[in-house]
């Protein structure tokens, strides 16, 4: 093993903990690499990032750990702090709300899009016409199930499917992950309005943990049971939250829930963003800026308190008696009489000789007294710029613009607003897509498996159609229509959308989906409006081309034989 030596060939002393080399006390020679010419101290480091002899790097020795070691042991503390911010800090709460409103919104609409080209390998009867019929049937069944007034889609019967998805995404943003356990309730069918046995339950990720808080093992990581290949095979979930005193016995009981049943039915949906390979638990979006966000919240509080104090003590009256004179008067003989005389003089001057101006009393002072004011020095002159800069850092971590968090667009013009929204839209769109892939589509696929196995779609399935378990990905392929992107300048951007469709760079389906609309519903509504215009003798609008458009709901006439 080679040793570090100085220019005389004498080896350095042993490296201390942290890796900083100590030169031999006798030589004091610079650090050198074995077999090389002596170099000035520090130049032996090939990268600046590896240096240990600078103030910035000298005490910086992070330890390399596996992702589970970095996250699982400290997860509860990080999550508790992130939740405290989301509860009590307006900027943090606003950032979460902006992300939710721009990804899930109030409602996610299913847009089924089965992969008929893959299914065509099983039967030639699978084509685009079949895919359209399948889509309409599945979307109608999902609407009734997911928006049921009795909320049979929810184990606790409180939320619609879209509300469950919004709650799950909120957990994913703050806690770093969402956890949904799928239940099977065949006894609910036929009772009330329940049509399916599938029901979803959004579970607090805190309940996912190792039984009895045991440390991680090779096959158990933060409540996630994995096999030799790292595949999650089961989840250990507390029956109650660990801090529920009213459920103390259940909080110390864990249920092992397998990821999938033997027939392939999904039991658990666990979705989180993976930052490193081998990661089994997630971290919230506030984690990188948690300390900055907390310090900014504290800074706001200090400035507010200082400004309040300055306002309370902003006005005072000076007296000819200073503290030393008052103390001397009280100590001397007749001090009480002297102070009493002065107080009587002040009362007589203020009460018996008030100054009036148009019926309004003007403050009057005794001889020698003077009213003075304290100029409030808070907030500091650079407070606004500093706070905005801090918010920019927080916004960068959240993936939105600072204007979206503060809702202050006073310093923004069209170009800058458009650029900021386009950049944040990329991150929001990516977050939305990952959530739909990791949570929304698995929920839909779990329900669709029951629908197909019950035979509710038998009328639209051709002979030779594979079972759901054989082609689940093809049957459950779908998109989700959520929040409209909106416009900064509706005229310019709508003109751009029309131009894109005219030259073939975009389609009505793309443009409608970007605004959270279903393109077929748009066309159907246009046909209804054209027919209504004609029935009432109203001239057709320019967007119809000014022509007498036929009723889109009527089928075309069959050609007559000659």
Q: What is the pLDDT of residues 105-146, one digit of tens each?
A: 888 999 999 999 999 999 999 998 899 899 999 999 999 999
What per-residue confidence (pLDDT) applies to 19? 42
Contact assessment for residue 6 and residue 41, using Cβ atoms and an 8 Å cutoff = no
Instruction: Write out the two tokens for 139.
Output: 């979307």
Residue keyed to tokens 């007749």:
334
Which residues are within 8 A (CB) of 300 and not within 5 positions of it... i.e. 6 or more apart? Answer: 387
- The rounded Cα 211 to chain-centroid distance in angstroms is 29
Confidence of residue 27 (pLDDT cuts 50, 70, 90): very low
- Greater confidence (514 vs 103) lies with 103
Highest mean pLDDT among 80-94, 362-376, 515-529: 80-94
Instruction: Write out the two tokens for 101.
Output: 């409103």
Highest mean pLDDT among 189-198, 305-314, 378-387, 482-491: 189-198
Tell me if residue 150 falls in helix, strand or coil: coil
- In the predicted structure, residue 394 carries a pLDDT above the cut 70: yes
pTM given for the model: 0.72
- In the predicted structure, residue 513 carries a pLDDT above the cut 80: no
Phi first, then psi, for residue 415 (nearest 5°) are -65, -45
Three-class DSSP labels, 92-112: HHHHHHHHHHHHCCCCCEEEE
Contact assessment for residue 367 and residue 287, using Cβ atoms and an 8 Å cutoff = no
Q: pLDDT tens, 449-487?
A: 999 999 999 999 998 899 999 999 999 999 998 776 666
What per-residue confidence (pLDDT) applies to 122? 93
d(CA 62, CA 75): 18
What per-residue confidence (pLDDT) applies to 23? 40
What per-residue confidence (pLDDT) applies to 311? 65
- In the predicted structure, residue 29 carries a pLDDT above the cut 60: no
Q: Whole-number mean pLDDT of the chain?
A: 79
> What is the share, in percent, of the chain residues with pLDDT greater than 70?
71
> C-alpha angle with apex 190: 189 to 194, nearest 5 degrees?
55
Tell me if residue 200 falls in helix, strand or coil: strand
Confidence of residue 284 (pLDDT cuts 50, 70, 90): very high
Confidence of residue 409 (pLDDT cuts 50, 70, 90): low
Contact assessment for residue 99 and residue 431, using Cβ atoms and an 8 Å cutoff = yes
d(CA 446, CA 226): 22
Confidence of residue 181 (pLDDT cuts 50, 70, 90): very high
d(CA 196, CA 354): 84
Contact assessment for residue 181 and residue 204, using Cβ atoms and an 8 Å cutoff = no
Residue keyed to tokens 């005229």:
491
Instruction: Write out the two tokens for 243.
Output: 């801090």
d(CA 101, CA 484): 10
> C-alpha angle with apex 502: 525 to 555, nearest 5 degrees?
40
- In the predicted structure, residue 491 carries a pLDDT above the cut 60: yes
- In the predicted structure, residue 30 carries a pLDDT above the cut 50: no
Confidence of residue 169 (pLDDT cuts 50, 70, 90): very high
- In the predicted structure, residue 549 carries a pLDDT above the cut 50: no
Average pLDDT estimate for 502-506: 80
- 449 DSSP β-pair partners: none
- Greater confidence (38 vs 295) lies with 295
Which residues are within 8 A (CB) of 284 and not within 5 positions of it... i.e. 6 or more apart? Answer: 78, 79, 82, 173, 174, 175, 176
What per-residue confidence (pLDDT) applies to 77? 94
What per-residue confidence (pLDDT) applies to 323? 59
What per-residue confidence (pLDDT) applies to 17? 41
Which residues are within 8 A (CB) of 333 and not within 5 positions of it... i.e. 6 or more apart? Answer: none
Contact assessment for residue 9 and residue 36, using Cβ atoms and an 8 Å cutoff = no
d(CA 297, CA 265): 46
Contact assessment for residue 212 and residue 223, using Cβ atoms and an 8 Å cutoff = no
Instruction: Write out the two tokens for 459.
Output: 């009328």
Which residues are within 8 A (CB) of 6 and not within 5 positions of it... i.e. 6 or more apart? Answer: 12, 23, 24, 27, 29, 30, 31, 32, 38
- In the predicted structure, residue 555 carries a pLDDT above the cut 50: no
Count Cβ atoms within 10 A of the Cβ of residue 78 and give its class: 0-12 exposed, 13-18 middle, 19 or more buried: middle
- In the predicted structure, residue 428 carries a pLDDT above the cut 60: yes
């Amino acid at each position: 093993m080679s040793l570090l030596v100085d220019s005389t060939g004498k080896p350095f002393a042993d490296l201390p903990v942290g890796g900083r080399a100590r030169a031999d006390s006798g030589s004091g020679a610079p650090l050198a690499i074995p077999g090389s010419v002596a170099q000035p101290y520090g130049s032996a480091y090939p990268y600046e990032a590896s240096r240990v002899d600078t103030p910035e790097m000298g005490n910086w020795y992070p330890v390399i750990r596996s992702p589970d070691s970095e996250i699982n042991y400290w997860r509860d503390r990080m999550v508790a702090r992130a939740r405290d911010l989301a509860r009590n800090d307006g900027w943090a709460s606003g950032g979460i709300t902006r992300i939710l409103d721009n990804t899930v919104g109030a409602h996610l609409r299913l847009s089924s899009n089965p992969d008929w080209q893959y299914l065509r390998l099983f039967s030639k009867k699978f084509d685009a016409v079949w895919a359209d019929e399948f889509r309409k049937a599945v979307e109608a069944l999902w609407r009734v199930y997911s928006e049921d007034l009795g909320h049979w889609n929810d184990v606790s019967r409180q939320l619609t499917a879209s509300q469950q998805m919004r709650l799950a995404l909120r957990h994913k943003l703050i806690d770093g992950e969402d956890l949904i356990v799928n239940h099977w309730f065949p006894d609910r069918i036929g009772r009330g309005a329940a049509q399916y046995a599938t029901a979803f339950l959004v579970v607090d990720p805190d309940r996912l943990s190792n039984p009895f808080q045991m440390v991680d093992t090779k096959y158990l990581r933060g409540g996630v049971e994995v096999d030799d290949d790292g595949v999650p095979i089961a989840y250990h979930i507390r029956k109650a939250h660990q801090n529920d005193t009213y459920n103390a016995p259940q909080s110390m009981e864990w249920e092992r829930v397998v990821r999938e049943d033997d027939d392939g039915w999904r039991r658990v949906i666990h979705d989180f963003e993976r930052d490193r390979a081998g990661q089994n638990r997630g971290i919230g979006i506030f984690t990188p800026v948690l300390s900055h966000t907390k310090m900014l919240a504290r800074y706001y509080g200090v400035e507010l308190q200082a400004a309040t104090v300055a306002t309370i003590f902003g006005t005072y009256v000076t007296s000819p008696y200073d503290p030393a004179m008052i103390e001397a008067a009280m100590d001397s003989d007749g001090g009480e009489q002297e102070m009493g005389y002065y107080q009587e003089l002040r009362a007589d001057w203020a009460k018996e000789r008030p100054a009036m101006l148009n019926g309004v009393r003007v403050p009057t002072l005794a001889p020698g007294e003077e009213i003075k004011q304290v100029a409030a020095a808070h907030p500091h002159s650079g407070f606004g710029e500093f706070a905005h800069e801090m918010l920019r850092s927080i916004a960068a971590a959240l993936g939105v613009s600072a204007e979206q968090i503060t809702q202050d667009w006073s310093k923004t013009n069209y170009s800058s607003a458009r650029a900021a929204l386009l950049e944040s839209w990329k991150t929001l769109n990516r977050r939305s897509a990952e959530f739909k892939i990791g949570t929304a589509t698995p929920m839909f696929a779990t329900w669709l498996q029951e629908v197909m196995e019950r035979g509710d779609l038998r009328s639209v399935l051709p002979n030779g159609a594979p079972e759901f378990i054989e082609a689940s990905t093809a049957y459950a392929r779908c998109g989700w229509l959520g929040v409209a992107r909106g416009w900064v300048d509706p005229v310019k951007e709508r003109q751009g959308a029309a131009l894109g469709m005219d030259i073939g760079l975009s389609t009505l389906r793309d443009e409608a989906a970007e605004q959270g609309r279903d393109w077929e519903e748009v066309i159907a509504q246009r046909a209804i409006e054209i027919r209504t215009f004609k029935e009432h003798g109203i001239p057709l609008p320019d967007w119809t081309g000014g022509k007498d458009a036929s009723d889109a709901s009527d089928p075309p006439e069959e050609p007559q034989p000659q």
